[in-house]
Structure formats: C-alpha cells, structure tokens
Structure 1
Amino acid sequence: MTKAVVTKADTFRALHRRPDPADPLILPGPWDAASARALVDAGFPALATPSAGVAASLGYEDGETPADEMFAAVARIVRAVDVPVSADVEDGYGLPPKELVERLLETGAVGCNLEDSGQGGLKDPHAHAEWLAEVRAAAGDRLFINARVDTFVRGVKDPERAIERAALYIAAGADCVYPIDAPLDVLPLLRAGIEGPINVFARLDGEGPSKTEPTELAELGRQGATRITFGPGLQRRATHALRDIAAALKK
C-alpha cells in the first residue's frame, strides 16, 4: 500500500482543528527572513505574513507594495523556515485566479489572505465569491484560503453584513473567514452565525477596538476565534524597540 504524503498545506489545515476553544491557533506575522526564524525558534508551528508589515520592511506604505516585490518577500520568508507559511496578498493584485495561485505556490506558501475590498471600497460580495471559487478551483487543496471580510474596517458596523459575506465565501470554498476589526463584543454573534474557522485580529500596537494583551488570547478562543493574527503589530513593536535602542545610543 502506498503511504499518503502529508504536505505542509495538510499540516497547516490540521492546525485549524482546535479541540479546545481556549487554545486558538496563534499565527504571528514575520516581515522578513530574520523575524520568521526568530518566531519559529520561539516555538510557533506556522506563520502568516502581514502585508502591511512586509510593506514597511520594503519601504512602502500599506497597500502600495508591487506584486513582484511582495511575492519575492514571501518566498524569502518561506525559504528561511521549515514550518507552513500563509501569505497576505491583499486583494490579489488584479491577477487572474490561475496566475495568482501559480505565483503563490511558486513562493512555497501554503495559504493566503484575500481581501474583499480595494481602492474603490467594498467589492460586490457575490462577484467576490465567484472569484474566490475560481481561486479554489485553481488551487485545489494546495492552498488554505483565508477570506477577509472588510465590512467593519470599511465602516459597516452591522455584524449581519459580515455574516452574510462570510457565508458566501465559505460556500465558494474559503477555508476560513477573517472579519477584520470586528469589535470583541460581537465575536460570539459572529461565531454563532458563521460556519467554519474564524480569524480574529488582535492588535498589539495599542490601537483599534480589538486591542488585546497576550494573556487574553485564550479568552478570544473561548469567544469564537479559531486563529489569531496580529497584522503588522509585531513589526511595529520591533521598530519601536529599535528606536528606543537607537535613542539610548545617542545619549
């Protein structure tokens, strides 16, 4: 009998099956190869790159990184570690689904974040769901698709709108949904209304409605978070620490 080969994508997908709600998957966000190695050395079983953190490391504002540079940065991170890496590739840079999948797989990433808004605001959810379905068809089971729901970050506060979009994206084949900037008090409602894993954004930079300390991560899991990411929070904390060190050297 031929033994089944377990891929990094399989491993990454399995990490989202959390038997204990108080033990959510914590996915810190590296912005370069050195930070990725530091996070793996700390014991994290998988990583998720933040587009804003990578942009800052490359000298760009969030949302302004050229696609080629983002894919190259992701490839360097993947090459530096031996754990699964998911890549934030914003709204896909206007690439056709097949090309987007090919370029992600070329980096070695096993997952991706895909946003449902762009320069013109929120995208039509039905059209976006169709696009996600094409990404899923092109990727098969080789990529874990985390579909970001941007209603809260775009000022739409009604959680039902986020739930409606999440249902469309899951039906299209998304593995997980990410209602970014959802207030913590609506997380139980989102959990009740959404089938499948939910990514929760925990801020470590002291900003926004979901500011969270590390000691509270288990509580986020109990309220409904399957996995927790920090966006560019770690990169910003590291930059602040470097500024403090530099200031002390100038004294």
Structure 2
Amino acid sequence: MTFARFKALHHGAEPLLLPCAWDHASAAALARAGFAAVGTTSLGVAAAAGKPDAGRATRRETTALARSIAGLEVPVSVDIEDGFHRDPGEVADLVAELAGLGVAGVNLEDGRGAGLAETGTQARLIGVIKRQVPGVFLNARTDAFWLGLPGAPALARARVRAYADAGADGVFVPGASTERDIETLVTEAGVPVNVLVQREIPVRGLAELGVARISYGSLLFRTALHAAVTTALEIAAGEPVPDGVPSYEQVEALHRYGRGDLRSP
C-alpha cells in the first residue's frame, strides 16, 4: 500500500515535492508541515555522523534513520548512495531490509568517485533489486551532469533509458538545469523524472516541463547549519533571539510523531 501510494504521487497533476530529512525530528517536522512524502539526504546523514558522503560509510546510520521514520504517516524514500556494497545481492538485501521496515522508496546513484559505474553493470544492479524487491519505488540516479562529465546531456539520456529499461520506477538527474535538457529527459526517459530544486527554474517552471518529482537534496540540512551558526553569531553580537523558532515543548514532542501518537506537538 505504501509503495502504491508513493508511486501514485509521481503521476499526479503536480510534481511531488520531496523534502529531505537527516534525523527523526526533521522528518517528523516536514511530515507535520503537510508534505506528501519525505526523503532523506545522504550528505545530512553523513555529516551529522562526522563521516564522508558517498563513501559507503553510513549504512548503519542510514538504516537506523529509516527505522526511526518509516512509521510516519507519509511515504518515506531513503537515499542509499550506491547501495553501500559492490555486490548486487547485498544491495538488494539492504533494499529488502528497508522495505521490511516500511520504506516506500530508495534512491540509488551511479556515481563512483569522479566517474560513473559502467552502464550495463548499473542496469543489472537495478534489475536484481527490482526482481527481489518489486514493492519498493527505485529511483535510479545518474550523476552525469552532477560530475560535469563531457557530453553529459547525451550520457544522461542514454543512462536514464537504460535504467528505465532495467526496471527503475523513476530516474533522478541532479545537475540538469536548463529547460532544454530537462524537457528532453522527460520526453525520452519513459518513467517519471526527478530533478533537484534549483535557482534557475522555479517549481512552476519545472512542472510545465513535465518533471514528476522535485527533490530538495541536502538544501534543508545546509540551510539548518547556516541558520544555527548565523543565529549564534547574531546573539553573540547583541541581537535578540529570533521570532518563530519552535519551542522546546514542540520539538520534544516530535519523538512521538509517527510512533503511534500523532497528536500535534
């Protein structure tokens, strides 16, 4: 049911806006704010743990976060980097574990350091996952644009088609930022296309291009860090405590949200 609900959100009249959390409090607060689904940010999870992103270092933290937020009343999608393992069976087992916790989707990237996994190898990985865990929305990410690789538009188009053919439920192309590139991807992918929220094209413009899902990526985590440091410095400089900050009681109550007690904090 959760998978079907999440999948349907990619085929609605408006794009799915997917804010990305890094802990239970941020996920619960976003769900309470009315977002239809919540994702996770691998950068936020890694940075909060003092570990590098995209280094296969945070499988434990990622699984623990999934366990803590899968009970929210909205579908949850988890960023699993490259799957945290080289063996497709191990990656599929991880996705099965997450599905067992109640996770509706996963985001799987093809970036490998400064380059990309071989297309056929990544397509086979996607196929293994979908055969073993068909009830999870697999969002297949290509980092062709993100890494600034030569010929990125053509490379990304070829990869999203290959991943869709392999069984991916959707494709994610971070770094795609021109109307022409995005519109071409939407036309050729054959499955829902996901891009990052961006300065160049507002949400309404992305919707008009046919984008099905708009991810906030690590933006909210980075914004939170900026707000924390800025507030600390402003108070040190004699500025008053800012208005609009959640109270202690409101934040403390978030631990109950999605765990059998959905009362508003």
TM-score (norm 1): 0.86
2:245 corresponds in structure 1 to: none
1:148 corresponds in structure 2 to: 141
Code of the aligned partner of 1:16: H
Aligned residues: 231
Which one of the candidate residues 219, 223, 227 is aligned to 1:237? 223
Unaligned runs of 5+ in 1: 1-6, 203-209
Contact 1:197 1:227 in 2 (8 A): yes
> Where in structure 1 do 4 or more consecutive aligned residues deviate above 3 Å?
none
Q: What SS is found at the alignment partner of 1:62?
A: coil
1:104 corresponds in structure 2 to: 98
Code of the aligned partner of 1:86: S
Contact 1:72 1:107 in 2 (8 A): no
Rg (Cα) greater in structure: 2
Q: What SS is found at the alignment partner of 2:148?
A: coil
Q: CA deviation at 1:61?
A: 2.7
Contact 2:95 2:106 in 1 (8 A): no
- Alpha carbons of structure 1 residues 196 and 98: separation in structure 2 relative to 1, 3 Å: closer
Contact 2:114 2:147 in 1 (8 A): no
CA separation in 1, counterparts of 2:178 and 2:16? 17
Deviates more, 1:57-66 or 1:47-56: 57-66
Deviates more, 1:155-164 or 1:231-240: 155-164
1:15 corresponds in structure 2 to: 9
2:22 corresponds in structure 1 to: 31
Contact 2:16 2:36 in 1 (8 A): no
Q: What SS is found at the alignment partner of 1:147?
A: strand
RMSD over aligned CA atoms reads 1.7
CA separation in 1, counterparts of 2:233 and 2:209? 41
Deviates more, 1:99-108 or 1:85-94: 99-108
Contact 2:146 2:175 in 1 (8 A): yes
2:182 corresponds in structure 1 to: 187
Q: For residues 166-214 of structure 1, what are the alpha-carbon distances to aligned partners after superposition, in whole Å with 9 as ceiling and x for unaligned?
A: 1111111100001111122311121222211000111xxxxxxx4358x
Q: What SS is found at the alignment partner of 1:86?
A: strand
Unaligned runs of 5+ in 2: 238-265
Code of the aligned partner of 2:196: F
Identity within the alignment, %: 35
Contact 1:71 1:107 in 2 (8 A): no
1:71 corresponds in structure 2 to: 63
Q: CA deviation at 1:219?
A: 1.0
Q: For residues 97-138 of structure 1, what are the alpha-carbon distances to aligned partners after superposition, in whole Å with 9 as ceiling and x for unaligned?
A: 431222222442110000112236201101110111000001
CA separation in 2, counterparts of 1:56 and 1:91? 17
